Amino acid sequence: MNNFWDYNVWGFMNLLAVLLLSLLAANMLKKWFSLLQKSLIPTSVLGGVILLIISGIYKAIFKAEMFDTNFFGGNGTATLEVITYHMLALGFIASTLKTSDKKLTKKRTGEIFDTGVTTVSSYLLQAIFGMLISLIVAMIVPSFFKAAGALLPFGYGQGTGQAMNYGGIYENEFGFEGGKSFGLSVAALGFISAALGGVFHLNLLRRRGKIDWKRSVEGKLRFEEIQSENEIPMQESIDKLTVQVAFILAAYLLSYLLMMGLGNVLPGMRSVIYGFNFLLGVLAATLIKLVLNFLTKRSIIKKTYTNNFLLTRTSNFFFDVMVVAGMAAIRLQVLARYWVVLLIMGIVGMIITYIYNRLVAVTLFKDYQEEQFLMMYGMLTGTASTGTILLRELDGDFKTPAAENMVYQNFPAIIFGFPMMLLATLAPVKPWLSLLIFIGFFTVMNVILFRRQIFLRKKR
């Protein structure tokens, strides 16, 4: 029986409070210092950096990990990793449960499809260069983990949660010492790359007279953006936010049951299956949404229970906590051991992502190339929220389809990206073969992406 004054009762709550306090501190710093505001570094990343600095100072003074003290339950670093793991899936589920009444035209469907293909192609390009770097390093330092570079697309392209997931698989299944922290460090460099490349491009646009730094992007919300027609009231016998959280957790419970079933059928793939918690979460959320739509059409349900405004706020909360927890979970000794490789990988990842997405935007999205580029570059070095931050500097009211492309591209990206995720588990076993497959896959994806240019030219 636990006593309520024991640290194992209070440890998790203390940890969560510190994470959220770091977000508030980071937000205050961004308000106070205009340089930080113009840097476009997300508040969650800045909060994670604050915690990294504090924990580093603590370790230098007391020779112990701050988050592993009794105050945080004795094993806070592992808890941070668990929080990062769950927040990724919960954020995706909340986003998937959102509804849309917009009908897509043939042109818009093609643009969304091309955005999804661009996402996967960028993953593959990052994987190719990441693998090349780690294989070259392994030739110089034979003890270096050859497949470490495969974490570049997960850190840059998919963010903190997936970088930690695959770093954990490499650490637990293939013996990559410090794999989780390596993946988290790559994700941290991704956010820095998003800020550096984003600020560089925005300054370029400003010099061309296409952007005004003094413009405010904050506006008042309209009532229809908060609540649409035929929705349940904000407060009744049950609060509307409680309903949204209930649907999110119901979807996550369903995804856990799916993972448990698949894990029992394929025990050798259990680590990979549970690493796809966000993907199965999206599937479960889609099933719940289909059931709700079916019941509504049959008039069994009279009111709409999901609310896009609250689901957006909830998903943003999950992603903010995910990023700050993931940053705080980085072990600084891993950074000290691999800092040269990480720096090279980070710089190369930033340059190739910038150049490739610039080429795609100029070629395929001529009507809104700058908006599409900023959104894609921000998303493929940081997260969707980073892409939104960059996009807002140029298209604050989301008048171009770039923001919609980012939302709807997830479906084609998941379909084409799923084989790449499986290939990532082959990389530690057969690194050179995996590299060749990544190159072949990248070639195929670009034939699909530039199909009009390639086949139209041949026809002519």
- For 241-264, the pLDDT digits (tens) are 999 999 999 999 999 999 999 999
**CA-closest candidate to residue 144, choices 302, 285, 341, 2:** 341
Q: How many residues belong to the chain? A: 460
Give me the residue label for tokens 């999110």. 248
- Tokens 């963010």 correspond to 159
Measured CA to CA, the distance from residue 432 to residue 440 in angstroms comes to 13
Sign of the C-alpha dihedral computed for residues 60, 62, 63 and 68 taken in this order: negative
Helices (H) and strands (E) in the chain, counts: 20, 0
| Average pLDDT over every residue of 160-185 | 88
Beta bridge mates, 231: 304
- Is the pLDDT at 159 greater than 60, yes or no? yes
The residue-averaged pLDDT of 354-369 equals: 94
| Contact status, residue 191 vs residue 45, Cβ threshold 8 Å | yes
- Report domain extents, the chain: 95-168+335-459, 248-305
Q: Name the most confidently modeled range: 138-142, 327-331, 378-382.
A: 138-142
In angstroms, what CA-CA distances link 352 with 202, 290, 355, 441? 18, 39, 5, 17
Residue 219 pLDDT > 60, yes or no?
no
Instruction: Give the pTM.
Output: 0.79
Q: pLDDT grade, residue 215 (50/70/90)?
A: very low
Q: Quote the CA–CA distance of 419 and 434 in Å, as a whole number.
A: 12
Of the ranges 10-14, 73-77, 236-240, 407-411, which one carries the lowest mean pLDDT score? 407-411
What Å distances lie between residue 95 and 22, 88, 171, CA to CA? 25, 11, 30
Higher pLDDT, 120 or 418: 120
pLDDT value of residue 101: 64
CA angle 30, 404, 361 (to 5 degrees): 85
pLDDT for the residue numbered 380: 92
Confidence class of residue 6 from pLDDT cuts 50, 70 and 90?
Answer: confident
What would the pLDDT profile of 366-414 be if each residue is shown by its tens digit?
A: 989 999 999 999 889 977 767 877 887 787 666 788 877 876 787 788 7
φ, ψ of residue 239 in degrees (nearest 5): -70, 145
